[in-house]
Chains A and B, each alone.
Chain A
Amino acid sequence: MIFHSLDFAAFFLVVVAIYWRLSHRAQNVLLLGASYVFYGWIHPWFVLIMLASTTVDYWAGQRMEDDPENRRRYLAASVAVNLGMLGVFKYFNFFVENVRDVFAAMGLTVAPPLLEIALPAGISFYTFQALSYTVDVYKGEMRARRNPIDFALFVAFFPHLVAGPIMRAKNLLVQVEHDRVWDATRARHGVVLVVWGLFKKLVIADNVGVIANRVFSQNDPAFEVLWAGVFAFGMQIYADFSAYSDIARGVARWFGFELVVNFNHPYIAHSPTDFWRRWHISLSTWFRDYVYIPLGGNRGPAVVAACTLITTFLVSGFWHGASWNYVIWGFYHGVLVWGTRAFGRLCRLPEHWPGPLALVQVALTWVAMMAGWLFFRETNSDFLGHFLRLSPFTTMEGEAAIGLHFFMLAATWSLPLFIHDLWALARERQLAPVVWTESRLTGLGLAGVQAAGVGLLASLTLVLRSTTSLDFIYFAF
């Protein structure tokens, strides 16, 4: 089931209407059943995959506590099952194709079978979430859970199931286990998040996504056209993915849950490191805590620390998809983060550049982040190689005008995002008008502004939504 569908609207209204009439235990049972309906709406067998992951992690957690001598084995079982499922459903064909290519390069013809099965939506998200539980139990950072309903709901909670945010057991399980209280203010904020999310998805992401798709359907776009397409895709993926997170957070609030903030205006980051503190925060922190730090983090010699950092980004890139371009994308970011840190230390640059230079710093970071989306969007290595060799000096007459047209069109659709980001930047820099305005917005005044904003966004969504409905990009991961 997808958020921007009438099916989901009806589903949500029915579930929320029943939910608040039930006791805490019954609420959890209802939410679990609803989550399985939500997840199995198109492919009911997806639920079986999730049940397998849930069962193994539930069992492994308890066994680690009951049989601490062998806890490493139970952790291994949990890791093997979760990563094994990912390997089969997400990476099996990738490995088979690469093996075939290697043999072909040696002049040998092998034709191993490929799996013709759909990738279960959200499998990368809920397996990582479940893994965080078993790892935390293994490390003794939390106790194993004994209530199967609570644990299953922690894995399956539908608002964030398919595309995050990836919630930690320490955070979400605690909310599952405690009584929830209806809070009208929290629900109101939830509506704001949902409507803003729908606007970002249907108006911004889908409209600029059409531009990106047009450009990347070309076999030989000009330099300007290509980079306008990359810009469009950069705005699309931000609007699309942050929209899903916002809607998930908004919907969760109606059930009394608080999901973590997943995006914090990443395009106003002042450095690549800062970008990763703001982009897909729940995944970045997951990799930090469960890959980067266990690998050694920034300890040890500089070369080792650099390798650890870049390896983490490579794994993160591979998590996104079974294709070499995602690995390259991860490598690009790894090198960028390491390079800018090293350069900053070498030149003794401050983390925040002073005065107006701060805008230059943000702009440079923005350009570097945008450029990286080329590696993410282009899955065909031949085209990727060709695009990297494109030059603005060989553009034919008229192509630059087309590129500028696409750039301006994408910028026009993205204008609300820019305004939102600039407001956030001004808030971060404590600009007086912004601080003053926000300090005045409390109580009824805030509610009135929120109502007006919601009404305006709802109207604009009806009017300007794209006629082409695109899937949420992260559904593919």
Chain B
Amino acid sequence: MAAAFAAPLGLRAVNHAVIGDPPGLGYLPSLELSRPHRAFDPVPIENLRHGRPAWVFIGDSMMGTRIDPIQLGEISSTRDELVSFLYHPATGPAWWYLAFKNHLVASGVKPRAVFVFFRDTNLTDTLFRLESLYGNALDDVALPEEPELDALVEARRGGWRARLHTAATALYQHDITTGWLEPGVRRWFVNWRFPDPAARARFDRSLNERFDLANLRADVAADFSDANDAADFARDLPTSVLPLMMQLAKAHGIQLCFVRVQRRPNGDVPPPQAPNLQRYVSDLKAWLTANGALFHDDWGDPGQPESIYADGDHIRDRRHYTALFRRRLDPLFR
């Protein structure tokens, strides 16, 4: 048993021999210690400053498969006002918050409204798509230090298990070994089979296309998110990004509108909602409106039958949804 606990200490020496000094701590030390990170991507800031959009949309594929920004701009404005996306598939509230803070607010642009798309309880589920590979998308929107978000993550993970995990990772530094060893194990055959980087990139592209939404079974689809039946708004709010987003919006005079998309209905019948989910949504709406934000709920919209859906909760016909959305939230587009 001693060997099982002592031997992994050797990983520190192995890491030092292979990559030298370990990379510094990331922006979420309570979640991961020293994974190599991509640098913050400042390009969206320049794009926002350049385009000065009237409406900004933040979200994941729920938004990406619903809103057509060009169509929405065309039917909403007579002054060539733009619609901009802060979009990344398979992201969660941490990404949406950081994109809002570090891209939109940092750009100094004040759109007429900012729409944040989410499903059911995602907004207060701080760890949603933050762990495993999903979390790497945060690199593009995170600054070297994100103390507010890190405090939320630490509070949400909480308990002796999380502290033990963090301590073990700091002790063994196995996450660093994973960073350089695991890709070698996973990619050796592709690297050997396609030594030319261009051919390798083509293969990766074909692999991704083979597993895109259109090729997945309807029941598993790309929508792997599930409603959290144990959600409790009052309990989850303090450790969610919502208060931070609202503070920023107020401080910078930005109108936020949160859009709850409808999960896949059954024919014309809206998806069932457990009583606690109904209570959650009601509490969420009350809190948002009390704090100056707008709330729009797609649930039960007769204009969104199952026939307009692709797989999972994604929409097949963006133009249909975009026109519907424009009508439903008409005051914000006048």
Residues on the B chain within 8 Å of A405, using CB = 189-190, 193, 203, 207
B161: Cβ under 8 A from any A Cβ? yes
Q: Given that A217-B216, A463-B178 are known contacts, is A456 also in contact with B133, CB under 8 Å in the complex?
A: no
A458 touches B178 (CB 8 A): no
Interface of B is mostly: helix
Residues on the B chain within 8 Å of A220, using CB = 215
Binds A, one of B3-11, B51-59, B299-307: B3-11
Residues on the A chain within 8 Å of B211, using CB = 214, 217-218
Tell which of B5, B131, B185, B216 touches A464, judged by Cβ atoms closer than 8 Å.
B185
A452–B164 CA distance with the chains assembled, in angstroms: 25
A446: Cβ under 8 A from any B Cβ? no
Residues on the B chain within 8 Å of A171, using CB = none
B289: Cβ under 8 A from any A Cβ? no
Residues on the B chain within 8 Å of A456, using CB = 7
A413–B218 CA distance with the chains assembled, in angstroms: 29
Q: Given that A218-B216, A401-B193, A405-B207 are known contacts, is A459 also in contact with B186, CB under 8 Å in the complex?
A: no
A413 CB, nearest partner CB in chain B, Å: 8
B178 touches A217 (CB 8 A): no
B181 touches A463 (CB 8 A): yes
Residues on the B chain within 8 Å of A408, using CB = 189
Tell which of B161, B186, B216 touches A409, judged by Cβ atoms closer than 8 Å.
B186
A464 touches B181 (CB 8 A): yes
A77: Cβ under 8 A from any B Cβ? no
Q: Per-residue CB proximity of B272-310 to A under 8 Å, as 1/0?
A: 000000000000000000000000000000000000000
Q: Given that A399-B210, A412-B185 are known contacts, is A467 also in contact with B132, CB under 8 Å in the complex?
A: yes
A452–B10 CA distance with the chains assembled, in angstroms: 12
A462 touches B4 (CB 8 A): no
A408–B190 CA distance with the chains assembled, in angstroms: 9
A214–B174 CA distance with the chains assembled, in angstroms: 27
A457–B8 CA distance with the chains assembled, in angstroms: 9
Q: Which of B142-198 contact A (CB under 8 A)?
A: 160-161, 164-165, 172, 174, 177-178, 181-182, 185-186, 188-190, 193
Q: Given that A214-B211, A402-B210, A464-B178 are known contacts, is A459 also in contact with B8, CB under 8 Å in the complex?
A: yes
Q: Per-residue CB proximity of B12-41 to A under 8 Å, as 1/0?
A: 000000000000000000000000000000
A299 CB, nearest partner CB in chain B, Å: 47
B7 touches A463 (CB 8 A): no
B181 touches A459 (CB 8 A): no
The closest CB in chain B to the CB of A447 belongs to B3
The closest CB in chain B to the CB of A465 belongs to B178
Residues on the B chain within 8 Å of A437, using CB = none
Tell which of A218, A452, A468 touches B3, judged by Cβ atoms closer than 8 Å.
A452
Tell which of B8, B181, B186, B216 touches A458, judged by Cβ atoms closer than 8 Å.
B8
B217: Cβ under 8 A from any A Cβ? yes
Tell which of B8, B10, B174, B217 touches A218, judged by Cβ atoms closer than 8 Å.
B217
Residues on the A chain within 8 Å of B207, using CB = 402, 405
Q: Per-residue CB proximity of A382-408 to B under 8 Å, as 1/0?
A: 010000000000000011011011001
A337–B211 CA distance with the chains assembled, in angstroms: 37
B247: Cβ under 8 A from any A Cβ? no
A217 touches B206 (CB 8 A): no
A219–B133 CA distance with the chains assembled, in angstroms: 24
B189 touches A412 (CB 8 A): yes
Q: Given that A6-B164, A462-B11, A462-B174 are known contacts, is A467 also in contact with B133, CB under 8 Å in the complex?
A: yes
A21–B172 CA distance with the chains assembled, in angstroms: 33
B174 touches A463 (CB 8 A): yes
B220: Cβ under 8 A from any A Cβ? yes
Residues on the B chain within 8 Å of A462, using CB = 8, 11, 172, 174, 177
A358: Cβ under 8 A from any B Cβ? no
B1: Cβ under 8 A from any A Cβ? yes
Residues on the B chain within 8 Å of A451, using CB = 2-3
B172 touches A218 (CB 8 A): no
Q: Per-residue CB proximity of B86-119 to A under 8 Å, as 1/0?
A: 0000000000000000000000000000000000
Residues on the A chain within 8 Å of B4, using CB = 191, 195, 454-455, 457-458
A331 CB, nearest partner CB in chain B, Å: 25
The closest CB in chain B to the CB of A457 belongs to B4
The closest CB in chain B to the CB of A380 belongs to B217
The closest CB in chain A to the CB of B217 belongs to A219
A214–B212 CA distance with the chains assembled, in angstroms: 11
Q: Given that A218-B211, A220-B215, A402-B206 are known contacts, is A459 also in contact with B190, CB under 8 Å in the complex?
A: no
The closest CB in chain B to the CB of A217 belongs to B220
The closest CB in chain B to the CB of A198 belongs to B4
Q: Which of A198-233 contact B (CB under 8 A)?
A: 214, 217-220, 225
A409–B186 CA distance with the chains assembled, in angstroms: 6
Residues on the A chain within 8 Å of B164, using CB = 6
A412 touches B216 (CB 8 A): no
B158 CB, nearest partner CB in chain A, Å: 13
The closest CB in chain A to the CB of B311 belongs to A219
Residues on the A chain within 8 Å of B203, using CB = 398, 401, 405
A383–B219 CA distance with the chains assembled, in angstroms: 13
B163 CB, nearest partner CB in chain A, Å: 11
Residues on the A chain within 8 Å of B188, using CB = 412
Q: Given that A451-B3, A458-B5 are known contacts, is A463 also in contact with B182, CB under 8 Å in the complex?
A: yes
B177 touches A463 (CB 8 A): yes
A398–B206 CA distance with the chains assembled, in angstroms: 7
The closest CB in chain B to the CB of A450 belongs to B3
Q: Which of A208-267 contact B (CB under 8 A)?
A: 214, 217-220, 225
Residue among A404, A412, A463 facing the most chain B CB atoms (10 A cut-off): A463
Residue among B7, B186, B189, B206 facing the most chain A CB atoms (10 A cut-off): B7
Q: Per-residue CB proximity of A404-428 to B under 8 Å, as 1/0?
A: 1100110011000000000000000
The closest CB in chain B to the CB of A6 belongs to B161
A459–B193 CA distance with the chains assembled, in angstroms: 29
A12 CB, nearest partner CB in chain B, Å: 12
B265 CB, nearest partner CB in chain A, Å: 20
The closest CB in chain B to the CB of A401 belongs to B203
A409–B164 CA distance with the chains assembled, in angstroms: 32
A451–B185 CA distance with the chains assembled, in angstroms: 25
A168 CB, nearest partner CB in chain B, Å: 30
A326 CB, nearest partner CB in chain B, Å: 19
Residues on the B chain within 8 Å of A218, using CB = 210-211, 215-217
Q: Per-residue CB proximity of A363-388 to B under 8 Å, as 1/0?
A: 00000000000000000000100000
Residues on the A chain within 8 Å of B6, using CB = 455
Known: A401-B193, A405-B190, A458-B3. 19 other contacts (CB 8 A): A6-B160, A214-B211, A217-B216, A218-B211, A218-B216, A219-B217, A225-B210, A383-B217, A398-B210, A405-B189, A412-B185, A412-B189, A452-B7, A454-B1, A454-B4, A454-B7, A459-B10, A462-B172, A463-B182
Residues of B within 8 A of A (CB): 1-8, 10-11, 131-133, 160-161, 164-165, 172, 174, 177-178, 181-182, 185-186, 188-190, 193, 203, 206-207, 210-211, 215-218, 220
In the assembled complex, 25 residue pairs joining A and B whose CB atoms fall closer than 8 Å, in A order, are A217-B211, A217-B216, A219-B216, A219-B218, A220-B215, A383-B217, A398-B203, A398-B206, A405-B190, A405-B207, A408-B189, A412-B185, A412-B186, A413-B185, A452-B7, A454-B7, A455-B8, A459-B11, A462-B11, A462-B174, A463-B174, A463-B177, A463-B182, A464-B182, A464-B185
